[in-house]
Amino acid sequence: AGEPLVLGIETSCDETGVALVRGRELLVDTVASSMDEHARYGGIIPEVASRAHLEAMIPTLERTLGTADVDLSEVDAIAVTAGPGLVGPLTIGAAAAKALALALGKPLYGVNHVIGHAAVDELVHGAFPERVMALVVSGGHSSLLLVDDVATAVTELGSTLDDAAGEAFDKVGRLLGLPYPGGPHIDRLAREGDPTAIRFPRGLTARKDQEKHAYDFSFSGLKTAVARWVEARQDAGEEIPVHDVAASFAESVADVLTAKTIAACERHGVSTLVVGGGFSANSQLRDMAATRCAEAGIELRIPPIRYCTDNGAMIAALGSAVVRAGVAPSRLDIGVDSSMPL
Ligand code: KG4
Ligand code: ZN
């Protein structure tokens, strides 16, 4: 049936994702998460996540095949996240993918998780135009990618030098005494606050940083600024205006992310922007990106949130693109890479 049927497996963090994609059509996407277990510890424990992947892998695979009414023998290729991510969790996915490739005699493709966050949008909004910009923002990554061909030609223009956007939100959440992960809680508080109440710093936007770090991000200085601001009020025995702190903090993050991304689009003559990763749920980022893209004449594509958080569809989508591009399969002895470059 024409287009290859690709099975995608994702295990880089706390989600066990398995999906089937034919061409650019998503057949089924199944995700099992171990976040409930991690929330109790206030962060992701790699050993706990690895064990959860090991237990969830076959049931998630079986549910995916069952829902699609597909037999494993019909699968043409196996794609798996080879990095970046947590080594233990990545290893569980890679081991499962290798076992399937070996048993079925089908090619294995180890792919990059961050590029997957961009590739998944092709399943939702159709094939990419010739050149797109992708902003991938989550708890683990904040990267700006220039995509000439999602399978073969992706350039990282910039990334975070310290915390990822979601990670900064989670740290500020802890500071404000919010449950983990704090990102969605800050977002909720921010909606009732004044984003102009406090002028927090915009990382790496000063003239001296522009030359070297035009498209890089840094959020740890902002996090420290928020901590100092809050501590000073606490020491003075004043009440903390949490809504205004949340809104002003989120404003700084959204401002830097969108300003740098749009500058990169203009610099590289790109008129389509894809935003992916779990942080793309953030209200202020969405609003500001929509407004500024409209002003700049840039088409904004953001997949529904379930395809922005980690999932198997993003890996199957990228695997499918790689197969269609005629890229050679990976060897069965490939390793995983926690900080895999593009
Ligand atoms: O992609 P994702 O589910 O997992 C990672 O790969 O990290 O992203 C989760 C991250 C967490 O840091 C979470 O706090 C943040 O994204 N996040 C948000 C929002 N929703 C999720 N941060 C701010 N506002 C939100 N609405
Ligand atoms: Zn991710």
Whether the CB of 181 sits within 6 Å of ligand 1: yes
Ligand 1 pocket test: which of 138, 171, 172, 176 has the largest number of ligand atoms within 8 Å of its C-beta? 138
What is this structure's pTM? 0.97
Whether residue 298 sits in one domain with residue 149: yes
Residue identifier of the C-alpha nearest atom 1 of ligand 1 = 278
Over residues 180-220, the pLDDT tens digits come to 999 999 999 999 999 999 999 999 999 899 899 999 999 99
Whether residue 278 sits in one domain with residue 164: yes
Residue identifier of the C-alpha nearest atom 18 of ligand 1 = 183
Residue at 332 is within a domain:
no
Q: What is the Cα–Cα distance from 141 to 122, expressed in whole angstroms? A: 20
Q: What is the Cα–Cα distance from 12 to 77, expressed in whole angstroms? A: 20
Helix, coil or strand: residue 169: helix
Cβ-based neighbours of 251, under 8 Å, separated by 6 or more: 190, 195, 196, 200, 284
Residue at 15 is within a domain:
yes
Whether residue 225 sits in one domain with residue 81: no
Whether residue 296 sits in one domain with residue 175: yes
Whether residue 295 sits in one domain with residue 271: yes
Residue at 334 is within a domain:
no
Using alpha carbons, list the distances in angstroms from residue 308 to 92, 123, 136, 250. Answer: 22, 12, 9, 19
Residue 301's domain spans which residues? 129-305
Q: Evaluate whether 114 touches 138 at the Cβ level (below 8 Å).
A: no
Between the CA of 236 and the centroid of ligand 1 the distance, in Å, is: 32
Whether residue 134 sits in one domain with residue 257: yes
Whether the CB of 169 sits within 6 Å of ligand 1: yes
Q: Evaluate whether 131 touches 157 at the Cβ level (below 8 Å).
A: no
Residue at 68 is within a domain:
yes
Residue at 198 is within a domain:
yes
* Closest to 5 (Cα-Cα) out of 309, 238, 320: 320
Whether residue 320 sits in one domain with residue 288: no
Residue at 340 is within a domain:
no
Residues in the 5 Å CB sphere of ion ligand 2 = 138, 310
Residue at 197 is within a domain:
yes
Whether the CB of 166 sits within 6 Å of ligand 1: yes
Whether residue 203 sits in one domain with residue 77: no
Between the CA of 159 and the centroid of ligand 2 the distance, in Å, is: 14
Whether residue 93 sits in one domain with residue 232: no
For position 34, which CATH number holds? 3.30.420.40
Using alpha carbons, list the distances in angstroms from residue 50 to 92, 109, 306, 332, 339. Answer: 7, 21, 22, 21, 17
* Mode of pairing for the β-strands spanning 132-137 and 142-149: antiparallel
Whether residue 167 sits in one domain with residue 140: yes
pLDDT in tens, the chain (342 residues): 589 999 999 999 999 999 999 999 999 999 999 888 888 888 899 999 999 999 999 999 999 999 999 999 999 999 999 999 999 999 999 999 999 999 999 999 999 999 999 999 999 999 999 999 999 999 999 999 999 999 999 999 999 999 999 999 999 999 999 999 999 999 999 999 999 999 999 999 998 998 999 999 999 999 999 999 999 999 999 999 999 999 999 999 999 999 999 999 999 999 999 999 999 999 999 999 999 999 999 999 999 999 999 999 999 999 999 999 999 999 999 999 999 999
Cβ-based neighbours of 209, under 8 Å, separated by 6 or more: none
Whether residue 254 sits in one domain with residue 115: no
Q: What is the Cα–Cα distance from 50 to 56, expressed in whole angstroms? A: 10
Between the CA of 57 and the centroid of ligand 2 the distance, in Å, is: 18
Burial 285-299 (b: 16+ CB within 10 A, else e): bbebbeebbeeeebe
Total number of domains in the chain: 2
Over residues 41-78, the pLDDT tens digits come to 888 999 999 999 999 999 999 999 999 999 999 999 99
Whether the CB of 84 sits within 6 Å of ligand 1: no
Residue at 331 is within a domain:
no
Q: What is the ipTM score, two decimals?
A: 0.98
- 254: Cα within 13 Å, side-chain hemisphere: 24
Q: Which parts are annotated binding residues?
A: 113, 117, 136-140, 170, 183, 187, 282, 310
Whether residue 315 sits in one domain with residue 252: no
**Which tokens go with 22?**
């034919």
Whether the CB of 310 sits within 6 Å of ligand 1: yes
